């Protein structure tokens, strides 16, 4: 008898929140298909294990790219699978679904999210902008007339917004996130060490030794891949300092987005932001010393929210529980 469901349709992770129960699903946004007939073989955790390890007959991929649906049919299959998992495949009532979407999404991309949810079994689909959901989940009182600034760094997009009176006043969305960090790390290692590594290895490097600024005590890690010249397997040692250099370009895009929003912010709200500081949410916020780097370049104190990865789905859950209170914040509802 589940009537309300909140979903964070992330590029890397799919999270489901049910009012009074909390987060019930947190799995990778990956679907494995049979190449011959596009039949779904595995979804979520099981499918992620197959990435980079599949034979030609199976394709493991994410239906989302840069925070939006890239493959409608696979996204719909994934939504249906997870909705059935929480609400049961046979149900008397269709649930209302709240989905968080990037603030910079186009109307076509928005339409795709609504259609996918409705086809997957939603009674009504509500949308909320990611920065608003992230702010709600981080415990920021978004309905007050004072300015709050939030930076949500996901897998595919980074959303920077100043919020006041329940809506976004100034915002920008850049298609840079954790995946771009991983790609930059893989590119750097290939260029400098002639070593090809997979996406999952790049992500592991970022988590274990990645940093936005030089560390006082350098970290090291052994990395294995295949040599570009000989084609044979090889292992090398990588230091955290190399990762600082490797991810400089994608970090610069996020820094420029933050500066851009601060420049667009009305003076009254800018002074509120200066007093309260900037809140960082999203999985990418966990990169070592990212808060310190942003504080240094903007001059505004930055801090990371508690459980930054879960803020968006928690905020979406709060919004669907209190639809009347957050009417202004909810973007669009469709029967």
Over the Cα atoms of the chain, what is R_g? 20
Residues 241 and 285 placed together within one structural domain of the fold: no
Could you tell me the residue range of the domain that residue 148 belongs to?
A: 142-176+249-309
Residues 240-252: pLDDT tens digits?
999 999 999 999 9
Residues 277-321: pLDDT tens digits?
999 999 999 999 999 999 999 999 999 999 999 999 999 999 999
Residues 76 and 203 placed together within one structural domain of the fold: no
Long-range contacts of 224-228 (CB under 8 A, 24+ apart): 224/197, 225/189, 225/195, 225/196, 225/197, 225/198, 225/201, 226/195, 226/196, 227/194, 227/195, 227/196, 228/190, 228/194, 228/195, 228/196
CATH code assigned at 242 = 3.90.640.10
Query: What pLDDT shows up at residue 329?
Result: 76
Residues 202 and 260 placed together within one structural domain of the fold: no
Going by pLDDT thresholds of 50, 70 and 90, the confidence category of residue 335 is: very low
Residues 93 and 46 placed together within one structural domain of the fold: yes
- C-alpha dihedral sign at 324, 325, 328, 329: negative
Residues 29 and 105 placed together within one structural domain of the fold: yes
Q: Give the count of beta carbons closer than 10 Å to the beta carbon of residue 248.
A: 12
Q: Is residue 46 part of a domain?
A: yes
CATH code assigned at 59 = 3.30.420.40
- The tokens describing 60, both together, are 């493991």
Residues 117 and 148 placed together within one structural domain of the fold: no
Residues 68 and 113 placed together within one structural domain of the fold: yes
Q: Is residue 322 part of a domain?
A: yes
How many domains would you assign to the chain? 3
What distance, in Å, lies between the first and last C-alpha atoms of the chain?
20
Residues 149 and 284 placed together within one structural domain of the fold: yes
Query: What pLDDT shows up at residue 271?
Result: 95
pLDDT at 331 over 80: no
Residues 162 and 241 placed together within one structural domain of the fold: no
Residues 239 and 223 placed together within one structural domain of the fold: yes
């Amino acid at each position: 008898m589940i009537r309300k469901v909140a979903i964070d349709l992330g590029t890397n992770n799919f999270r489901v929140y049910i009012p009074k129960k909390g987060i019930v699903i947190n799995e990778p946004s990956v679907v494995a298909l049979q190449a011959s007939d596009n039949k779904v073989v595995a979804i979520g955790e099981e499918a992620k294990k197959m990435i980079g390890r599949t034979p030609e007959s199976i394709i493991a991929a994410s239906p989302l790219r840069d925070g939006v649906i890239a493959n409608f049919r696979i996204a719909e299959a994934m939504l249906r699978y997870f909705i059935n998992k929480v609400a049961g495949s046979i149900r008397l009532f269709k649930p209302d679904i709240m989905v968080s979407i990037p603030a910079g999404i186009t109307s076509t991309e928005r339409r795709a999210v609504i259609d996918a949810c409705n086809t997957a079994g939603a009674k009504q689909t509500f949308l909320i902008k990611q920065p608003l959901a992230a702010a709600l989940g981080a415990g920021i009182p978004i309905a007050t007339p004072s300015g709050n600034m939030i930076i949500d760094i996901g897998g595919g997009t980074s959303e920077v917004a100043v919020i006041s009176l329940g809506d976004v006043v100034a915002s920008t969305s850049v298609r840079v996130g954790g995946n771009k960090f991983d790609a930059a790390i893989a590119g750097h290692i290939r260029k400098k060490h002639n070593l090809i590594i997979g996406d999952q290895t790049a992500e592991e490097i970022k988590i274990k030794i990645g940093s936005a600024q030089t560390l006082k005590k350098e970290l090291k890690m052994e990395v294995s891949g295949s040599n570009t010249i000989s084609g044979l397997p090889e292992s090398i040692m990588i230091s955290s300092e190399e990762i600082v250099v490797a991810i400089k370009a994608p970090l610069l895009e996020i820094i420029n987005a933050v500066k851009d929003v601060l420049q667009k912010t009305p003076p009254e709200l800018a002074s509120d932001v200066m007093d309260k500081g900037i809140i960082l949410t999203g999985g990418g916020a966990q990169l070592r010393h990212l808060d310190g780097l942003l504080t240094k370049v903007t001059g505004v104190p930055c801090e990371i929210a508690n459980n930054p990865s879960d803020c968006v789905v928690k905020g979406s859950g709060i919004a669907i529980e209190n639809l009347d209170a957050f009417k202004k914040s909810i973007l669009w509802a469709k029967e």
